[in-house]
Amino acid sequence: MEVHEGTVIVMSTSALGAPACAQWFTTTHWSVVLAAKGGASASGDEALEKLCRAYWPPLYAYIRREGHDATEAQDLTQEFFARLLEKDFLDHLHHQQGKFRSFLLTFLKHFLAEQRRKAGTQKRGGGQVLISLDATDGEDGYLLEPVDELTPDQVFERRWAQTVLQTALDRLREEYAARGQTKLFELLQDYQPREPGGPSYAQLGEVLGLTEAAVKSAVQRMRQRHRELLRKEIAQTVTRPEEIEEEIRHFRALLARERD
Please give the pLDDT value at position 91. 57
Can you tell me whether residue 20 is helix, strand or coil?
A: helix
Residues 6+ apart with CB under 8 A from 151: 65
Question: pTM for the complete prediction?
Answer: 0.70
Domain boundaries, the chain: 1-14+149-260, 26-144
Can you tell me whether residue 103 is helix, strand or coil?
A: helix
Could you give the CA distance from residue 29 to residue 101 in angstroms, rounded to a whole number? 9
Give the closest residue to 132 by CA, choosing from 70, 46, 72.
46
Could you give the CA distance from residue 189 to residue 171 in angstroms, rounded to a whole number? 12
Residue type, 228: E
Residues 6+ apart with CB under 8 A from 45: 36
Please give the pLDDT value at position 232. 87
Range 136-145 contact pairs with CB under 8 angstroms and sequence separation of 24 or more: 137/56, 137/57, 138/56, 138/57, 138/60, 138/61, 138/64, 138/73, 138/74, 138/77, 139/60, 139/64, 139/70, 139/73, 139/74, 141/57, 141/61, 142/57, 142/60, 142/61, 142/64, 142/65, 145/61, 145/65
* pLDDT tens per residue, range 86-119: 755 555 555 456 677 888 888 899 889 988 888 7
Give the closest residue to 167 by CA, choosing from 252, 233, 99, 247.
233
pLDDT in tens, the chain (260 residues): 544 433 332 223 333 333 344 444 445 676 666 665 555 566 666 667 777 777 889 999 999 999 998 999 999 998 888 887 775 555 555 545 667 788 888 889 988 998 888 875 555 444 444 555 554 455 555 444 554 578 899 999 999 898 889 989 999 999 999 999 999 999 999 888 777 888 999 999 999 999 999 999 999 999 999 999 999 888 887 777 778 888 899 888 888 877 66
Could you give the CA distance from residue 170 to residue 164 in angstroms, rounded to a whole number? 10
* pLDDT tens per residue, range 159-195: 989 888 998 999 999 999 999 999 999 999 988 877 7
Give the closest residue to 243 by CA, choosing from 100, 74, 77, 79.
100
